[in-house]
Structure 1
Amino acid sequence: MRMRVVTVAWVLPFASGAGCGAGTDSTQMAGPSAAASSGSSASGAATPRIEDALVILHRLQKIADRNGGNRFSGTKGYDDSVAYLRDRLERAGLHTSVQHFAMRDGTTTSNVLAELPGGSGRVLMVGAHLDSVKAGPGINDNGSGSATLVAVAQALARTGYRPRDTVRFAFWGAEERGLQGSLHYVKGLKDAEKAQLSGYVNFDMTATKGGAYGIVDAAKSSLADLPKKVRGDFAQIPFAAGSVRLQKVLTRAYQDQGAPVTPDLTTVTATDIRPFLAKAPTVPVGGIVMLSANPRKQKGRPIVAPCYHRKCDTTANIDTTALGRGMGALHQTITELAGTAS
């Protein structure tokens, strides 16, 4: 997660210096929660297995260890992460593609997309950024979100789940370099493609130790909790119709896993939700970011999560209970929102 919250005035459009350059674009085809253990759901789709997510996180750690300690976009560590996740998704039977794009410094990186096809013509997107910062391996931020998506995708595919609406899983590159991957993707969508999207749900830092389950607050019920000097900025955030429904579905899904949820507006401009708000304003959005429930300061700076953007964001920095809850919640959210083919 790229932290830009509370102290930044609300400005939606990306300035030319902050957005992705024109670049090139090519596509290559190709204590755990009980709810996240093996089994099956009421919809008939297998529930995700915590061991699958942990295997993914340990592999991402090894990839970082072999590549200078990080998985930063534009490096071999990131490219190896892309290859690994794509291989797991393909082996599970999902159709995948890689979307290459040029970053602002002229180097190239990529997004990964995978789909479970539906027949309605509508598309539900769920996403997480795959890259880390240079300073560390990024296992919580945001290997946790990426592993959650892959484990849930594998579980849904394992029993041949057939959604009514296509489910598109997105793994964004260059989030830690200014949300460049998701912005490139959204800017490239045609109006008809935006109209197909029934929603975008973002998973970021979903295994934070001592974290609050911060659900994106499209209803803006948490405005009164913000400092007065920024309250007006956050009040102006233009959530699309349908975003409150996403919030309610995701909230209920987390509560069903036993998680105490908190409505949160402060992270919305710091995650891959922001490009959808800016460039696809009719698309409903939702998501979760887990920041420290009781943040402290160090040398005058807030510590938003343990080992945030540091070398110690390793597999030892993962709360497996929170990770399992996120897997169960995403699984429930997808099956409720995407439905089942008749």
Structure 2
Amino acid sequence: MSKSFRNQARYGVLGAALVASVLVPGTTASAVVSPDISVTNAKAHLDQLQTIATNNGGNRYTGRTGYRASADWVKSKLDAAGYTTTLQSFSTSAGTSYNVIAEWPQGDANHVVMTGSHLDSVSSGPGINDNGSGSAGVLETALAYAASGQIPRNRLRFGFWGAEELGLVGSKYYVNNLPAAERDKIELYLNFDMLASPNPGYFVYDDNPAGNGARDDLVSYFTSKSVQTEYIDVQGRSDHAAFRSLGIPTAGTFSGAEGIKTSAQATKWGGTANAAFDACYHRSCDNINNLNLTSLDRQIDAIGHMIWNYAQKDYGTTIPPTGPNLLQNPGFEAGAVNWTGTAGVITNSTSKPAHAGTYKAWLGGKGVTATANLGQSVTIPASATAASLALWITIDTAETTTSTVYDTVKVQIVDGTTTTTLATYSNLNKSTAYSLKTLNVLAYKGKTVTVRFLENEDSSLQTSFVIDDVAVTAA
């Protein structure tokens, strides 16, 4: 985070806020999705940034080798995940710097949801909280979205900014060099700068243009996790300011810098009163030991919540893809007709409600070591330019762990002798309501393949995976 910001007095405790309606393909509304973004993976990214700093004079400052190594490493991760990436160079008073811009190659390019963080450190240290934490969180969320197999309604774009510590140079260069028509396509910019302060607070930006709604969605998310928040106007202190100055709606979170935590805040959030949120702010001690992983975990889950939901927000977006359902008996209302697999999986038992109608596929729920499967053959037209597999799923489990996978259901495509797992859901994805999952199957155009659900349950507590209203569509 750039510049000193001594006056952090503009706080106000937030009350409850309404969650904006989030739309998904083929529906009018859906339950809000809150994925669990791996803090273990994010911490591994921070370890790598620390190693880069250590190997390059102790910092990742603009114009020095540590920054270029950081940018190259982030780009390589995004390239491998399937993003279209650009290393955008620009000049600064400290030498050449770079923005890493990554775009997911699906979704309506006329409606862009952008998320960013600054990647550079100050010259005096490795910048692991400021702002390795934001960059690691944004990176891991981007990688998790790519791995999820979902098809976004809107175009997702991620920016890792250079030279923020020199006055937001990178983000200003990026947005000011976009043609006006391209700037107008950005519906929202989300900024994450300092997420793991050792004595953390939970601040939500309060400087967004009127009618944004994203600010309130962040507050509602934290409230749902029993985390109190406070508004803060960070003004021109981080990269969102470059977007806000051009009228683009912005939102973001912040765990505090050199400001002092009050007694009231310590009562609310824990930690130490009358001490800085981050005593190592802009110092050499902002290293891998200068982190609060609980704060990091909560904050990156908030990033995931926003990206997953705003990826599907209806901005008047073209819904991909549309067309008739290529599956037969997709809602199971004819029982097992057209489906093959484990006997008894398709059921009208009243113990588990269907998404619609009476019948559904109920895999698992036995509480003993068992496996079950269900599948149907389908041909995806060779002329397809888009193709998706969609399903509604609810997951009920008696497992109490929040970290260990015991029971799973895999969504697979069987193509001859090759089986590809598109997505895996587990007891960790417990959801009392049905949620829609949409997966990309365009790679199988011109082929006849089998859509299969494969469930595995261990010998301890039960997990029930209930699937209904499956669709394969192409356009």
TM range (shorter): 0.7 to 0.9
1:316 maps onto 2:286 in alignment? no
Quick one: which amino acid aligns to residue 288 of structure 1?
T
Other-structure match for 2:416? none
Other-structure match for 1:88? 77
Offset, 1:290: 1.4
Equivalent residues of 2:33, 2:309 under 8 A apart: no
Q: Report the Cα distance in structure 2 between the residues aligned to 1:276 and 1:310, rounded to whole angstroms.
A: 28
Q: In proportion to residue count, which structure has more helix?
A: 1
Larger radius of gyration: 2
Matching of residues 89-128 of structure 1 within 5 Å: 89-104=78-93, 107-116=95-104, 117-119=106-108, 121-128=110-117
Equivalent residues of 1:45, 1:160 under 8 A apart: no
Quick one: which amino acid aligns to residue 240 of structure 2?
I
Offset, 1:246: 1.3
Show CA shifts across 1:319-340 (max 9, x none): 1111111111111111222217
1:338 maps onto 2:305 in alignment? no
1:69 maps onto 2:58 in alignment? yes
- The verdict on how the C-alpha distance between 1:120 and 1:189 changes in structure 2, with shifts beyond 3 A counting, is closer
Other-structure match for 1:48? 37
Equivalent residues of 2:200, 2:292 under 8 A apart: no
Show CA shifts across 1:210-255 (max 9, x none): 221110113xxxxxxxxxxxxxxxxxxxx43433x01011222233
Equivalent residues of 1:128, 1:202 under 8 A apart: yes
Q: Unaligned regions of 5+ residues in structure 2, if any?
A: 9-29, 263-274, 314-318, 321-475
Matching of residues 238-317 of structure 1 within 5 Å: 239-243=208-212, 245-265=213-233, 267-278=234-245, 280-281=246-247, 283-291=248-256, 294-295=260-261, 303=276, 305-317=278-290
Equivalent residues of 2:255, 2:277 under 8 A apart: no
Q: Report the Cα distance in structure 1 between the residues aligned to 2:260 and 2:57, rounded to whole angstroms.
A: 32
Other-structure match for 1:233? none
SS in 1 for 2:3: coil
CA RMSD of aligned residues (A): 2.3
Q: Report the Cα distance in structure 2 between the residues aligned to 1:103 and 1:3, rounded to whole angstroms.
A: 16
Quick one: which amino acid aligns to residue 133 of structure 1?
V
Other-structure match for 1:134? 123
SS in 2 for 1:2: coil
Q: Report the Cα distance in structure 2 between the residues aligned to 1:118 and 1:317, rounded to whole angstroms.
A: 38
Q: Report the Cα distance in structure 1 between the residues aligned to 2:84 and 2:37, rounded to whole angstroms.
A: 19
Other-structure match for 1:60? 49
Aligned partner of 1:210 among 196, 199, 219: 199
Higher relative contact order (CA 8 A, sep 6+): 1
Q: Report the Cα distance in structure 1 between the residues aligned to 2:41 and 2:291, rounded to whole angstroms.
A: 14
TM-score when scaled to structure 1? 0.76
Quick one: which amino acid aligns to residue 261 of structure 1?
T
Quick one: which amino acid aligns to residue 43 of structure 2?
L
Q: Report the Cα distance in structure 1 between the residues aligned to 2:301 and 2:53, rounded to whole angstroms.
A: 27
Equivalent residues of 1:46, 1:155 under 8 A apart: no
Q: Report the Cα distance in structure 1 between the residues aligned to 2:73 and 2:196, rounded to whole angstroms.
A: 21
Quick one: which amino acid aligns to residue 249 of structure 1?
D
Offset, 1:6: 6.4
Offset, 1:145: 0.2
SS in 2 for 1:305: coil
SS in 1 for 2:202: strand
Offset, 1:162: 1.4
SS in 1 for 2:201: strand
1:185 maps onto 2:158 in alignment? no
- The verdict on how the C-alpha distance between 1:291 and 1:45 changes in structure 2, with shifts beyond 3 A counting, is closer
Quick one: which amino acid aligns to residue 62 of structure 2?
S
Q: Report the Cα distance in structure 2 between the residues aligned to 1:306 and 1:88, rounded to whole angstroms.
A: 31
Q: Report the Cα distance in structure 2 between the residues aligned to 1:165 and 1:290, rounded to whole angstroms.
A: 29
Q: Unaligned regions of 5+ residues in structure 1, if any?
A: 9-40, 219-238, 297-301
Show CA shifts across 1:281-312 (max 9, x none): 2x10111121167449xxxxx95522101111
Matching of residues 20-31 of structure 1 within 5 Å: none
Q: Report the Cα distance in structure 2 between the residues aligned to 1:190 and 1:120, rounded to whole angstroms.
A: 14
Identity of aligned residues (%): 36
Q: Report the Cα distance in structure 2 between the residues aligned to 1:120 and 1:166, rounded to whole angstroms.
A: 5
Q: Report the Cα distance in structure 2 between the residues aligned to 1:63 and 1:333, rounded to whole angstroms.
A: 29
Show CA shifts across 1:184-226 (max 9, x none): 01110111111101111100000112221110113xxxxxxxx
Q: Report the Cα distance in structure 1 between the residues aligned to 2:298 and 2:206, rounded to whole angstroms.
A: 19
Q: In proportion to residue count, which structure has more strand?
A: 2
Q: Report the Cα distance in structure 1 between the residues aligned to 2:179 and 2:4, rounded to whole angstroms.
A: 28
- The verdict on how the C-alpha distance between 1:249 and 1:45 changes in structure 2, with shifts beyond 3 A counting, is closer
Q: Which segment is superposed worse, 247-256 or 203-212? A: 247-256
Q: Report the Cα distance in structure 2 between the residues aligned to 1:121 and 1:45, rounded to whole angstroms.
A: 25
1:175 maps onto 2:164 in alignment? yes
Q: Report the Cα distance in structure 2 between the residues aligned to 1:312 and 1:93, rounded to whole angstroms.
A: 35
Q: Report the Cα distance in structure 1 between the residues aligned to 2:277 and 2:189, rounded to whole angstroms.
A: 24
- The verdict on how the C-alpha distance between 1:183 and 1:58 changes in structure 2, with shifts beyond 3 A counting, is same
Report how many residues are paired: 280
Q: Report the Cα distance in structure 1 between the residues aligned to 2:119 and 2:154, rounded to whole angstroms.
A: 24
